[in-house]
Amino acid sequence: MDVDAEIQRTQEERQKMEKDLAALTSLTFDTDLYSSNKYEGYEQSIAVNDDEDNLDPAENEIARKMASFTAPKQFFKEPLRTGQEDEMSGFNQPGKIIDREDDYRRRRLNRIISPERNDPFLDKTPGPEVRTYADVMREEALKRKEEDVKREIAKKKKEEEEAAKDKEKEVEKPKKRNRWDMSQDESTGGKKAKAGSDWDLPDSTPGIGRWDATPTPGRIGDATPGISRKNRWDETPTPGRLNDSDATPAGGVTPGATPAGMAWDSTPKLGGLATPTPKRQRSRWDETPATMGSATPGATPAAAYTPGVTPFGAVDMATPTPNAIMRNAMTPEQYNLLRWEKDIEDRNRPLTDEELDAIFPQEGYKILDPPPSYVPIRTPARKLLATPTPMATPLYNIPEENRGQQFDVPKEMPGGLPFMKPEDYQYFGSLLNEENEDDLSPDEQKERKIMKLLLKVKNGTPPQRKTALRQLTDKAREFGAGPLFNRILPLLMQPTLEDQERHLLVKVIDRVLYKLDELVRPYVHKILVVIEPLLIDEDYYARVEGREIISNLSKAAGLATMIAAMRPDIDNIDEYVRNTTARAFSVVASALGIPALLPFLKAVCQSKKSWQARHTGIKIVQQIAILIGCAVLPHLRSLVEIIEHGLNDENQKVRTITALSLAALAEASAPYGIESFDSVLKPLWKGIRSHRGKVLAAFLKAIGFIIPLMDAIYASYYTKEVMVILIREFQSPDEEMKKIVLKVVKQCVSTEGVEPEYIRTDILPEFFKNFWVRRMALDRRNYKQLVETTVEIANKVGVADIVGRIVEDLKDESEPYRRMVMETIEKVVVNLGASDIDARLEELLIDGILYAFQEQTSDDANVMLNGFGAVVNSLGQRVKPYLPQICGTIKWRLNNKSAKVRQQAADLISRIAVVMKQCGEEQLMGHLGVVLYEYLGEEYPEVLGSILGALKAIVNVIGMTKMTPPIKDLLPRLTPILKNRHEKVQENCIDLVGRIADRGAEFVPAREWMRICFELLEMLKAHKKGIRRATVNTFGYIAKAIGPQDVLATLLNNLKVQERQNRVCTTVAIAIVAETCSPFTVLPALMNEYRVPELNVQNGVLKSLSFLFEYIGEMGKDYIYAVTPLLEDALMDRDLVHRQTAASAVKHMALGVAGLGCEDALVHLMNYVWPNIFETSPHVINAVMEAIEGMRVALGAAVVLNYCLQGLFHPARKVREVYWKIYNSLYIGAQDALVASYPVLEDEESNVFCRPELQMFV
């Protein structure tokens, strides 16, 4: 019999027995009354919000029944929760990157920043400690081999387990004996034996009593003792008495060996093999205790202590030392303790293999390997004397107390450094050491400097960050690539990193790369490990940053270094590494050009060694197509040829990625490039007929993107052929397959050769049967794809066919499904109009959208509103019979207690106001205006904003004269609403006031307009640009209505406020007033205000002039001479901002009056502008350069060139740089004009500089 099989069976039986025993503690009775699940009917968690769990039982039942069609109602109710939590939701967003990452993206933290690699472009031979390309490739090969071996081992184990199970089934299991079964003797006897009593047992083997001697290895429980039992008062029992000189060892065991008997304190073994020799044991009381070896009995004990009194020297310490015990007078208890310890150690020592062989038979047993997780206890707690002693070590000293208490508030950092977060201490903790920097080595000083700058970038204020960034950039080569990257890259791998911190550190890398250039080569792989995860980040801007870094890195390091760094990762065992490497290679290709990478791609895609390399190479092609789009066209044929063999690869994943890459190439090159795909059409066609599952989905996607590139005839043929397979796959349960099928149907239907009749008869029935179901509305991607495909089909077959099939679903009980239907109808009707819709369908449509609108409960109201508005606007005058019903619904919903419902009703008015005008329902609109006017006391700002929007729509359509309530009543009611700080309210209110000011200013007294002016000043502080712009325009309308004087006085006073944004908006308003009411009404007051000796006011006046001349354009020729003295003064002012703003005003003035004969004033101003070209402030430089550009347009390039020539060859480099910068901008802007104005140079012997054709005049 096979020993292994028996062992395995025994183990399984034991496990089953343990499970049965464990089941006794669980609920195994009355299962007909109670459920086997003891938690059933009980809450297992406490809800965060009561609304989640206080569900109606009926709702629960419906949710359970409808689970296959739609999501449970509690999920639909989730977005309806309003209140403070919604308002604060923006503040509760997790700042850490890891909080929003899934498990796949978190694998970036498993990657290790590799050591520096050798730079092959250096002129020296690398040392043995430097990692070369060969070393890296060997390491990767070893990892792959290790992974293969592990896989083989796992496979083999699995096969062995399956083989063992099969064998088990063949061998019939014997019935396992139950403890309730009868014994064999009882079953054979015909009569049941009478149960015996303990009193009937023979006296030869008495049981061990409670007061009996402790069992010893010399006495086994089932052995017959030769001496009558003694009680505990006869002697002190010792553990075995093996040390007695006259004892015969039991069971033939050598003295000192493991005792043969089984006892409570010995190693368990088979009992009853030998009967110990009976022997009277001597009592300890018969002996004279000898406590000290050399002491005379009865002499005074050593150390002047009586034995048994307090022992001397550390005996009672937690860890007594052996010499302390030995050198003192030991009490009998201490002596006995030593003997016990020695005896217990002897008993519990591990048995040797020889001893075990002697105990167990040679056959029928097998030595099992211990489990991998088993760690034997080598040092039991009983080994007291073997414990290291404290006597050889110095005694414990109480450390000096640190008086600096640690509070929650971080202590101030030395040297003006920003605060540190707790997680920053491991990176920047050494900065807290108060060391003298002069004592540090140069390398340590450099490292400390880098850490300080990085801490300022990461946690500092904006000015600190700006300075630190500049220093890191300027001193990058001085610091060196190694120290910089060794500090920056670990920070980017920090698990607690936040988005803003990552953005700043990536910016540091970008700036540093630019400076280090070729020095970055040994660190390319390090940087890639950290930056590659950005390429798959869900944040678009993070992906862009990652691409930019890798692009700059590839330009700095070169193609060879990039390939050498990333080649080992192409066939890495980890799919995450391969994915990010493929994306990084696509960025390298876009940076250095596809042709440079083509030979490498060809080699990788045809790799014979590993399918992973081929897979990654083909994925690189896919990512290149996605990244650079139509720029693949020049290289399309080469790329297709490189990957086409993958369609017939033996590995399924390679075939899938090849098809997806072809789809990406076809999508990028559309509508061109069909010739390049000729070679792959046949394998694709065979593939879609032979494959299933994911491979088929990929092949279908490739075909779907290639068909639109074909001519109409071929496209029609291929569509009909592939549609058979697509219709079959309509029923596929796989979500990914559904998305791809929808995409392919959309592509095929949109091609020219496909006939509408074919779509109606062959595609539509199955399409609506399989896709237009509730479940499709629950997944956002499916929802979007289905709507797009249906709209594309509608473009072919018309509105009536599509709307007629789905209009009934507007009354479906699933809200997400109704929303999907409404969005589809909206897009179809907007694209194609409503002319095909007949009277019956029109009734169904209006009825459906009214029902869907009224049943709307979720937050996403825009879909229903847009759909309602689109349908009503498309039907136009055909809606007139339904308008009373629609308006009745709106009025009823304006009274609803729910704020969302009221808001929807008001929004709907603004959508249909134009149609109501077309239908001639002005009386109805006037009535709605009165109703809305009564609701202006609404307390919810969102609803109030919608009501103002509806009023604005009615005012726009009905006109000022017919408006009810009258404008004179409406406007005073709006004035206090202007104080509302909600953006939606502000925007709609200011638009409405501006519209009234523009068209109906005469209905309102001037005093009311002045009140509004003062309210509008506050609105210039709004955060939203649209509100500020509307406010500024309203000032112009009001000034036009009541005259500029009063409005201007209000605005000029506002120039004295401290807030810059307020002043800037005021200057724009002044300029608009000037434009509206002519400049001559504003300029005198404006120039007079410049005399106020206050910087803010003067800068405001100059900015107003700048905007004024920008707005009035050619009208400026009448006012240029008036403002020239003011601009002269400003251009000579000591304040930089004066000169900057004046230069900006000169620019706009010059551009406005170009060619209008004002050159003398402009040259005069040019003389004041020119000295500012050497300013260092970037803002001033920009303003001055733009002023000079304006002068080039107004005065001509020749005049500016004359100013420029004097400094082009100046001995000072800084002077030359400025003049050449001006010259370059001249050259770009007026290249042809400069030719005629170059200076005349005398001819030399070999060079003729004379240009006679330029000296010809007519």
Overall number of domains in the chain: 2
Is residue 114 left, alpha or beta, with left meaning phi > 0 and alpha meaning psi from -120 to 50?
Answer: beta
Q: Which of 576, 598, 628 is the last residue of a domain?
A: 628
Computed over its alpha carbons, how large is the radius of gyration of the chain? 46
Omega cis (within 30) before 965: yes
Predicted confidence (pLDDT) per residue in 323-382, tens digit: 555 555 678 888 888 888 888 888 888 888 788 788 888 777 777 778 877 776 665 554
What is the C-alpha separation between 554 and 566, in angstroms, rounded?
11
CATH number at residue 480: 1.25.10
Same structural domain, 45 and 103: no
DSSP-derived secondary structure for 362-383: SSS--PPPPPTT----SS-TT-
Residue 1015: what pLDDT? 83
User: Around Cβ 556, how many Cβ atoms within 10 Å?
Assistant: 19
Query: Which of the two residues, 719 and 267, has the higher pLDDT score?
Result: 719
Max mean pLDDT among 20-34, 317-331, 1000-1014 falls in 1000-1014
pLDDT (mean) for 682-694 = 88
Q: How confident is the model at residue 604 (pLDDT cuts 50, 70, 90)?
A: very high
Same structural domain, 431 and 512: yes
pTM here is 0.63
Residue 20: what pLDDT? 63
299, part of any domain? no
Residue 340: what pLDDT? 87
Give the torsion through C-alpha atoms of 1132, 1133, 1134, 1138, to 10 deg. -120
Q: Which of 601, 628, 655 is the last residue of a domain?
A: 628
DSSP-derived secondary structure for 400-449: PP--S---SSPPPPGGGPPP--GGGHHHHGGGGS---GGGS-HHHHHHHH
606, part of any domain? yes
Residue with tokens 């496909």: 754
Structure tokens at 967: 């404008």
Residue 297: what pLDDT? 46
Same structural domain, 31 and 142: no
Predicted confidence (pLDDT) per residue in 946-962, tens digit: 999 999 999 999 888 88
Same structural domain, 574 and 505: yes
Same structural domain, 494 and 553: yes
Residue 219 has pLDDT above 90, yes or no: no
786, part of any domain? no
Residue 406: what pLDDT? 52
Same structural domain, 534 and 444: yes
What is the C-alpha separation between 4 and 576, in angstroms, rounded?
41
Q: How far, in Å, are 1051, 1055, 1116, 1147, 1189 from residue 1072 at the CA level?
A: 11, 15, 14, 19, 25
- Yes or no: say if 855 and 810 are a contact pair by the CB < 8 Å rule: no
Same structural domain, 24 and 136: no
Q: How confident is the model at residue 659 (pLDDT cuts 50, 70, 90)?
A: very high
What is the C-alpha separation between 833 and 210, in angstroms, rounded?
103
494, part of any domain? yes
Same structural domain, 488 and 602: yes
Same structural domain, 486 and 545: yes
Mean pLDDT over the full length of the chain = 79
171, part of any domain? no
3-state helix, strand, coil in the chain (%, to 5): 65, 0, 35
Q: How confident is the model at residue 92 (pLDDT cuts 50, 70, 90)?
A: very low
142, part of any domain? yes
617, part of any domain? yes
pLDDT (mean) for 487-509 = 90
- Which residues, 6 or more positions from 584, have their beta carbon under 8 angstroms from its beta carbon? 528, 531, 532, 535, 550, 566
Residue 41 domain boundaries: 3-74
Q: How confident is the model at residue 1210 (pLDDT cuts 50, 70, 90)?
A: very high
Residue 302: what pLDDT? 43
Same structural domain, 532 and 608: yes
Q: At what angle do helices 1025-1042 and 1044-1054 cross, to 10 degrees?
A: 140
Q: Which of 628, 647, 662 is the last residue of a domain?
A: 628
Residue 590: what pLDDT? 94
Name the nearest CA neighbour of 1030 among 917, 948, 1152, 1089.
948
Residue 46 has pLDDT above 70, yes or no: no
Q: How confident is the model at residue 269 (pLDDT cuts 50, 70, 90)?
A: very low
What is the C-alpha separation between 553 and 530, in angstroms, rounded?
13
Predicted confidence (pLDDT) per residue in 158-206, tens digit: 888 888 887 777 665 555 555 555 444 444 444 444 444 444 444 444 4
Lowest mean pLDDT among 226-235, 570-579, 884-893: 226-235
Same structural domain, 102 and 64: no
Query: Which of the two residues, 250 and 910, has the higher pLDDT score?
Result: 910
864, part of any domain? no
Bridge partners of residue 231, in order along the sequence: 212
CA atoms within 13 A on the CB side of 522: 18
What is the C-alpha separation between 210 and 551, in angstroms, rounded?
86
DSSP 3-state assignment of 682?
A: helix
Same structural domain, 498 and 558: yes
